[in-house]
Amino acid sequence: MAQALRASRESADDVAASLYTFRTPLPEHVGEITSLMSELYAISALLSSLEHVAEDPRNRRCFNMIKPDLNVVQSSYTYTIEDIGDIFRELDGGDASPARYKRTWLNMNRFFWDQSQYTLATRLAKYKTIFKEFYDLVRDGQYTSPLLAGLVNGFKTLLSTQDSRFAARFEGMTLRPDDAPSGNGASSRHRPRPTTPVRDPPVRDRPTRDHPLRDQPGRDRPLRDQPGRDRPLRDHPMRNHPVRDYPLRDHPIRNSPVSDRNARRRRSYERTRPPHLSPPMSPSSGTSSEFPPSVPDIPTSPHTSTTSRSSAPDIIKEHWAKETFGSNSTSTPLPSVRERSYCRGEPQLGIKQWIKDEGFEELLQLSLNDESDMRVSFYLRRLDYRVRILCREPHRTKPSDYYCLPLNLLEILRDGSCLRLCRRKHGTQLILWTQLKFTTLEDMVLFHNTFLALRSQDAGHVIGGIIDHELGHEDEIYAALIADDEYVHALRVYKDLVTGAVRLQASVFLGEMKHTPVWTAFVTHNLGKRSWLKSYDSRTVIVRDIKPVVFISMDDYTSPQTPQGHHVLEFKSSSDARMFLETMDELSE
C-alpha cells in the first residue's frame, strides 16, 4: 500500500509540473492554474504523510480500518490523474501554440464538469480534504470525522462513473490495420488492440465495504477561526484540516445586549453541508441517477440505516423550510404580467412513485397563485439531504403532467415577475426548464433563497460555486461583514428596482457554502420610522420590528436578539456600522 501511495504522490507532482507550462501561453488563467498546482502539491504532501504512517507498525490497526475506503478514493484519484495526462497528450507534436493550449485547457475543464457536474478544482479540493481526514484517523485512533462518510460516498459514486467509462473504452477497442489477417488466406485469429493505450483499472486491495468509516458524530470542534473582536469567529469552509485545540465557548461573542442566549448546541459539523445519516451505497448498487429510468428497474430493497432514529429529531417534520413561507407579515405586489407558470421539460410518467422508491419524502408543497394552477414541491432524501423539485402541471381534459429534476442540475434566474429554472448546456447555454410566476416580491425572494439554500445543503452533490445567488432587478445598496451567531456573515442591503422594496440579507461569507443565504428580512415598512434602528455601541446596532426568515436549521443558527426580542447586528468595524445607519437613513428619504 505504501508503494501505491508513493506512486500517487509522484503522479501529483508530475501533473503539477505539467500544469506549470500552461502559465505562459494562458496568462488570463494564471490564477486558476496556480490554484490547481497548489492543490496537487498539497495532495502530494498528504500522500507522503500517509505513506509514512502506513509504514509504522503502531498504526497498523487504524490503517487497516481505513484501507477499504482509502482504496476507493485512491482508485478514483488514479483515474483522475490519468485522465488529465490523456488530455495533456493533445499538446504532443510540434504545434504547441497558445491556441492549442487554450483548447486543451477548455477541453480539460469541460471533461471533468461533464463527468461529475463540478469542476476539477472542486474535485482536487475533495481529494485533499479526504486524504487529510484519513491521515488524522490513522494518527489518532480516537479521532472522529463528520465529513468522511459523505466524502467516501461521493467518491464511490464518482468511481462508479469512472469504472463505467473505462469499461466502455475497453469494449470499444478496434483492430488496427496491421492487426488484420495476412493476405495468404491464413485463418489465424489476431487479438484486437486499442488505438490508444488502455489503462489497467486501479487495483483495490479488497472490496469496499458498504458502511461508512467512523460515522459516529464527532466531538464538537470549530473550523478555522476568523479574526474577531474579543475572540475568534468561525467561517464556513470545507475543512482543510481538523482543528482540535479550540473548544466551543458557551458565552456570547462579547458583553452585549444579547442575554439569556442558549448555550451552544452540540454540532457534528460547523456550517458545512449536512452529514449523511445512513451508510453510503456501494458502486455496484449505484446511487440515485439524475433521471428516472425509462423502464422500471427490478425493485430494490429500501435504503436502511444502521443508526437508530427513534430518539433523533425528524428531519422532515422539523425542517427549516416548513417555516419559510407564510411567516412574513409584509406583502409587496409585483407588476401583473401576461406570462404564466409552465414547464418546458419532458413529462415523466410514474415519477412520484420513482422518487419515493429512491428514498425521497415531500418536504414542502407550494401553489402558485396564477391561472396555471401549477404546484411545486420539494422532496428531500434523509440519506444525503439531496433535494428534488417536482412540478405538477394540471390539464382540464387529461391527467396532470409531472416534471422532476434534482436541484444541482438547475440554475435560478429572475425575469420580471417570474423565476426561470434553467439547465446549463455545454457550459454556457441556459435552457429553460420551468417558469414560475409570482404575485408578491416576498414570495419570489423566499422561493429564490429556499432554492439556493436547499441546493447548497446537498451533502452528496456539492455545487462548486454558486453563480446565481443574486436576484435579478435588485440593487445592492450596502455590504459589510457581521459577527452573526459566532459566524462571519456578509450582510447586504438590497433595493428592488421594480417595486422599491428594501430588505436585509445575511449570507455565508467563506467556504464551500459561500453566498448561501442564512436569513433575510423585509424592512420597507420601517423606513422613515423613528428608533427602529438604535446604536448600542460603535459597532452594534439593534434592529426593531423585523422578522428574519431563516434558511438554515435551528440547530446550526440562532438569530442574535436582545431580551426584548429585537434583532442585533454586530459589525466588524465601527465604520461599517456607521455606514449602515447612514445608508438606511438615505433610503428613508
Nearest to 410 by CA among 382, 436, 432: 432
β-sheet bridge partners, residue 392: 375, 402
CA distance 352 to 364: 14
CA distance 172 to 193: 10
The torsion angles phi and psi of 82, rounded to 5 degrees, stand at -70, -35
Whether residue 503 sits in one domain with residue 356: no
Nearest to 112 by CA among 80, 86, 82, 78: 80
Whether residue 546 sits in one domain with residue 440: no
Determine, yes or no, domain membership for 439: yes
CA–centroid distance for 6 within its chain: 31
Whether residue 384 sits in one domain with residue 411: yes
Nearest to 584 by CA among 509, 538, 524: 524
CA distance 223 to 136: 15
Can you give the pLDDT at residue 7?
79
Whether residue 336 sits in one domain with residue 457: yes
Determine, yes or no, domain membership for 266: no
CA–centroid distance for 78 within its chain: 23
Report how many domains make up the chain: 3
Determine, yes or no, domain membership for 518: yes
Last residue of a domain, one of 141, 159, 177: 159
Whether residue 483 sits in one domain with residue 462: no
CA distance 572 to 570: 7
Whether residue 481 sits in one domain with residue 416: no
Q: CA separation (Å) from 508 to 471, 490, 497, 517, 573?
A: 16, 6, 24, 6, 18
The position carrying cell 477541453 is 107
Report yes or no on whether pTM surpasses 0.95. Answer: no
Whether residue 530 sits in one domain with residue 382: no
Whether residue 568 sits in one domain with residue 514: yes
Nearest to 364 by CA among 462, 443, 438, 459: 443
CA distance 246 to 161: 40
For residues 292 and 351, the answer to whether their CB atoms sit within 8 Å is yes
Last residue of a domain, one of 444, 466, 488: 466
Task: Work out the number of other CB atoms within 10 angstroms of the CB of residue 321.
Answer: 17
CA distance 104 to 120: 14
Helix H or strand E encompassing 355? helix 351-357
Whether residue 523 sits in one domain with residue 492: yes
Can you give the pLDDT at residue 200?
39
Which domain CATH number covers 582? 2.30.29.30
Assign residue 426 a region (left: φ > 0; alpha: ψ between -120 and 50; beta: otherwise): left
Whether residue 152 sits in one domain with residue 8: yes
Counting beta carbons within 10 angstroms of the beta carbon of residue 509, is it exposed (0 to 12), middle (13 to 18) or buried (19 or more)?
Answer: buried
The position carrying cell 469496499 is 208
**Max intra-chain CA distance, the chain:** 102
Determine, yes or no, domain membership for 135: yes
Which three cell numbers, joined as nine digits, stand for 284? 455496484
Per-residue pLDDT tens digits of the chain, which is 589 residues long: 666 777 787 888 888 888 988 988 998 888 889 889 988 988 988 888 888 887 778 877 888 888 888 889 989 999 999 999 889 888 876 567 888 888 899 999 999 998 988 899 999 999 999 988 888 888 776 666 677 888 888 899 999 888 888 776 655 443 333 333 334 443 333 333 333 333 333 433 433 333 333 333 333 333 333 333 444 444 443 333 333 232 322 333 333 333 333 333 322 223 455 554 433 332 333 333 444 543 333 333 333 333 333 344 688 888 999 988 877 778 999 998 888 899 988 888 889 999 999 999 999 998 877 777 889 999 999 888 899 999 998 888 888 899 999 998 899 999 999 999 998 876 678 899 999 999 999 999 999 999 999 999 887 666 665 678 899 999 999 999 999 988 899 999 999 999 999 999 999 988 778 899 999 999 999 998 888 999 999 999 999 999 999 999 888 888 899 999 999 999 999 999 999 999 999 998 7
Cα dihedral sign, 156-160-161-165? positive
Nearest to 273 by CA among 307, 237, 246, 309: 237
Alpha helices, H only, 489-572: none
For residues 494 and 516, the answer to whether their CB atoms sit within 8 Å is no
Determine, yes or no, domain membership for 116: yes
Counting beta carbons within 10 angstroms of the beta carbon of residue 483, is it exposed (0 to 12), middle (13 to 18) or buried (19 or more)?
Answer: buried
Which three cell numbers, joined as nine digits, stand for 17? 509540473
The position carrying cell 444579547 is 258
Which three cell numbers, joined as nine digits, stand for 64? 487497516
> 48: domain range?
1-88+98-159
Last residue of a domain, one of 425, 450, 466: 466
Determine, yes or no, domain membership for 431: yes
For residues 436 and 376, the answer to whether their CB atoms sit within 8 Å is yes
Pairing, β 502-508 against β 517-522: antiparallel
Can you give the pLDDT at residue 276?
46
The position carrying cell 464556513 is 236
Which three cell numbers, joined as nine digits, stand for 53? 504512517
Whether residue 141 sits in one domain with residue 5: yes
Determine, yes or no, domain membership for 273: no
Mean pLDDT score of the chain: 75
pLDDT tens digits along 4-24: 777 787 888 888 888 988 988
Whether residue 413 sits in one domain with residue 396: yes
What is the SS3 assignment for 154? helix
Which three cell numbers, joined as nine digits, stand for 246? 479550540
CA distance 392 to 379: 13
β-sheet bridge partners, residue 413: 420
Which three cell numbers, joined as nine digits, stand for 352? 412520484
Q: CA separation (Å) from 357 to 165, 298, 386, 504?
A: 27, 11, 14, 40
Which three cell numbers, joined as nine digits, stand for 267? 454540532
Determine, yes or no, domain membership for 455: yes
Helix H or strand E encompassing 51? helix 30-55
